[in-house]
């Protein structure tokens, strides 16, 4: 989340390309959510060591002054799967809580419509809401599994669980093995979360 492309504040670099180079990831995809004048973009990125295919990138319900998006890619691993990355708006008001509920409904609808092979899906990002919140409950009702919940914010002393990784696997083909919070206090005001998954092959 929070990736710049050609923005003055980050030296006009393509942060997705730079991160891919630094991490040795050969494949990457940026999805813009906002325009930052004069000509920069701000959004989300997916990096992969496997080839990937962009399925789509869309704007989702959000406050007028902070447009948000969801990017969906197909990871062409030996057992292919989809990754959806999003970042929901942050203000803790009833109005913005409703927008987050609308956003997760839109995300679920977009993924369902763009997954004709019924592949397992990982949905991740900064949801800016707690595990017992309305948006998370909505995703659970729509069949998403949140798995282990970890405090991720603020990074100096994580106490709030607002960054989540959801999974949805057809016929339970995706199994959550482990989820780990990484002790990194400098790179962001959130700590990173590592999710280990096992994806089972289809039975023919």
What's the farthest any 2 CA atoms get from each other in the chain?
53
Instruction: Indicate whether this model's pTM tops 0.85.
Output: yes
Distance CA 145, CA 95 (A): 26
The pLDDT profile of the chain, 204 residues, written as one tens digit per residue, is 999 999 999 999 999 999 999 999 999 999 999 999 888 999 999 999 999 999 999 999 999 888 999 999 999 999 999 999 999 999 999 999 999 999 999 999 999 999 999 999 999 999 999 999 999 999 999 999 998 899 999 999 999 999 999 999 865 678 888 999 999 998 899 999 999 988 877 654
Please provide the DSSP assignment of 130-159 as one string. Answer: -TTSHHHHHHHHTT-B--S----BSTTS--
| Helix boundaries (H) for the chain | 15-23, 94-113, 134-141
Residues in a beta bridge with 199: 174
Element (H, E) at 163: strand 163-168
């Amino acid at each position: 989340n929070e990736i710049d492309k050609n923005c003055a504040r980050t030296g006009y670099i393509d942060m997705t390309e730079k991160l891919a180079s630094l991490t040795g990831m050969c494949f990457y995809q940026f999805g813009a959510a906002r325009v930052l004048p004069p000509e920069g973009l701000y959004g989300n990125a997916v990096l992969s060591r496997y080839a990937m295919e962009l399925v789509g990138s869309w704007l989702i319900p959000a406050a007028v002054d902070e447009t948000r998006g969801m990017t969906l890619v197909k990871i062409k691993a030996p057992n292919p799967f989809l990754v959806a990355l999003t970042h929901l708006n942050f203000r803790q008001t009833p109005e913005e809580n409703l927008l987050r509920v609308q956003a997760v409904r839109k995300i679920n609808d977009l993924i369902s419509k763009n997954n004709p092979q019924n592949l397992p899906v990982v949905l991740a990002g900064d949801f800016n809401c707690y595990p017992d919140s309305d948006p998370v409950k909505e995703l659970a009702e729509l069949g998403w599994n949140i798995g282990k919940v970890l405090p991720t914010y603020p990074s100096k002393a994580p106490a709030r669980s607002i960054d989540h990784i959801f999974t949805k696997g057809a016929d339970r083909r995706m199994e959550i093995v482990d989820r780990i919070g990484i002790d990194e206090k400098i790179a962001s005001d959130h700590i990173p979360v590592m999710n280990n998954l096992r994806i089972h092959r289809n039975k023919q």
